[in-house]
Structures are given as C-alpha cells and as structure tokens.
Chain A
C-alpha cells in the first residue's frame, strides 16, 4: 500500500485496530486474524478496517512493523543498548518468545510470501534486507572496535544470524524445551570469539 499520512485521529484509529489485531492473534493464532474477526471484536464493519489498511496483508505487515519498531528503537531513556545492534537483536528474540503469536505470524507469513505472486513478497524482501543492513552495520562497528575479527564477512554473518534466529524460533515454538534466545546469544558470542 502506498505510504499515506494519517491525521492524529486516523493514526490513533489505526493503532486501536492493530491493538485489537494483537489481541485476536494472542487468542486465536495467525489463522484467526481475519479482517472480519477483528471487525467483529471491535464492533465495526470490515470495510472500516479496510479503509485504514487496504488489505489483510497490509494490516499484518503493519503489525510486524509495529512489533519491529518497538524492538529496535532505543528505550524510553533514549540510549541504544550498550553492546549495539547485535545485543539489541538478541534481546528482541528474547522478547519475541514471550509472544509466540507474533512469532508464529511472522514465520508463517514470511514463508507464504516466498511465493513471488504473494502480495507481501516485496515487503518481506525489503524487510530482510533492512534487518540484514542493521546487523551487518552492527558487525562492522564491532570489527572497527576490535570485538569481531576483520576476517568475518559482515553480510554473510548477518544473514546467518537472521537465519539462526528464525530457525531457532521455529524449533522453540514446536518444542518449548528449546531455548532460542540462548542459541542466538551463543551465535553472537561465536562471532566475538573470532578475535
């Protein structure tokens, strides 16, 4: 959907809808968040929701963006985590595990969007390259600081971290005895052990 500016009131309305969608997700899972179900829960017409988001896919994209924004923005204090991007990423996975619904949404939605004809294909391509950019920058920053070996290929290592994080979350969602955050933490530690 093209970028659109909303009035403060419209922005607030979108936020209410996204909050309702999150509740729907927590209660009924990824399959349960349909425009109709959210509308019913809010006592609205589905058309009202489509007015703000256009399509179900666009609404789901907004849900993921909203979740992302809260993970990567500096905390209220305005300070990014002292360890930088890699630590922020590990913390984000930790936070994800407390919300299996959003992880399920992200994994299932991304897998469906692998199909080039899927409406959110371009969205996920852009999202992966954005996250990869952040992680690769984080790795390069630590390389400059002497924390990670200059021999590490930052792009490749970033890609690996994302894949490990996604795959570990997949394993953890079907088997709660799997500790995804600590596996990502160790992957980051392995990078730092290269010096």
Chain B
C-alpha cells in the first residue's frame, strides 16, 4: 500500500496490538461509528468485545483513555487503509480529501473526535499529549507535501506551506463542528477541496471511496 509511508500515527500508533486490546479497540470503533459515544456506550463496547464491564474496567479504568486509544488506533488504521495513491505531495493532499469524505459517512466518529479534541485542550486531560503530537504529525505531513508541490512549481500563489497546513487542519476541525450542528448547510469535502485548490494549479480530484473495515 503506497500511503503506508511513514505514517505510523503520532507516537507510533500500534496496529500490532495484543489480541485482547485490539479486539476492544475494534469494538470501540464499531460502536462509535454506528452510534457515536454516549452514556451506555462503555457497556456496549464491553459486550461487543465479549467482555463483562468489570473486565473492560480492569483494562481501561479511565473511559477517556479508552477513547483516546481508540482514536490513536483509528489513526494508524486510517493511514493503512487509504486508497492507493502515489506517495507524493499531491497524493497526500488527495488522501486528506479522501479522509474528509470518509468522515461524512461516519458522523458518530466525527462527533467523538470533535468532543475529545475539545476536551483534550484541558492540560490535565489524558488526551492532551496525544492531540498535541497528532497535530504536529499532521502539520508535518501536510507541510512536506506542500513544499514538494512548491518545488515542482505546482503552488499557485506565493503561500507559506506551514500556514496553509495549519489552516487546512484547523478548517477541517472547525467545519466538522459546524457540520455536526447543521449537516445540510455544509459540504465538508467541497469546502476543504476548495480551500486547497485555491493554492494549486491543478485542482484535486473528488474523493475516492475508502473502507476502514478492510484490515
């Protein structure tokens, strides 16, 4: 898989987890994708993983840590299941668009991600370091992709890759909240594509389907 590149996820998200942990995180992602995460979801995750709630509690006493681990695991899966794309700057931006499109069909996951990211801005939240590293990792990837395009003369305007990268990530996080509040008012994929296209000579293509289920 081409986009396997150096995307182990921030902090080297492990896809080679011990079987039990992997089953729990798979179950958590399934539950979240279906219904989002609400009161009662913790018990659902336990049931889906074939555990009793006390057994899950022994593994994950802090529910927030379970959620942060689930998001970290999802990052590593996401990096592995992106559709084949050339490992170049344009391919990476295209992969970013594919993920946005994928999210449109997974509102439960977007909801959890959004809540967790916001909650993690508190310095004592267990996801604080994870989100800090994740943003740095994402920015780094996009900056590299944009620099490459810049060197190839593909960037349309004089634009600072670091600024565009940070803005693109911010735009996605911010628009997800607006989209969750009013889905009919926001075309997430079109908006993100339009944002990046304004800096590119050749516009990006519409998203290609990707499936997290294949793993």
Contacts and interface: CB of A to CB of B under 8 A. Distances in A.
Interface residues of B, number: 40
Contacts of B135: 171, 174-175, 178
A115 to B, nearest CB: 7
Contacts of B38: 115
A166 B122 contact: no
Interface stretch (A57-65, A79-87, A157-165): A157-165
B180 A166 contact: no
A32 B190 CA distance: 39
Contacts of B182: 125, 128
Q: Which bracket fits the contact residues of A? A: 35 or more
A183 B175 contact: no
A183 B177 CA distance: 19
Contact residues of B: prevailing secondary structure: helix
Contact of B163 (A107, A156, A183): A183
Contact residues of A: prevailing secondary structure: helix
Nearest to A127: B181
B181 A160 contact: no
A186 B167 contact: yes
B163 A186 contact: yes
Contact of A166 (B136, B160, B177, B194): B177
B188 to A, nearest CB: 10
Interface of A: 29-31, 100, 103-104, 107-108, 110-115, 121, 124-125, 128, 156, 159-160, 162-168, 170-171, 173-175, 178, 183, 186-187, 190, 193
7 contacts: A104-B121, A108-B122, A112-B115, A128-B182, A167-B169, A167-B171, A171-B135
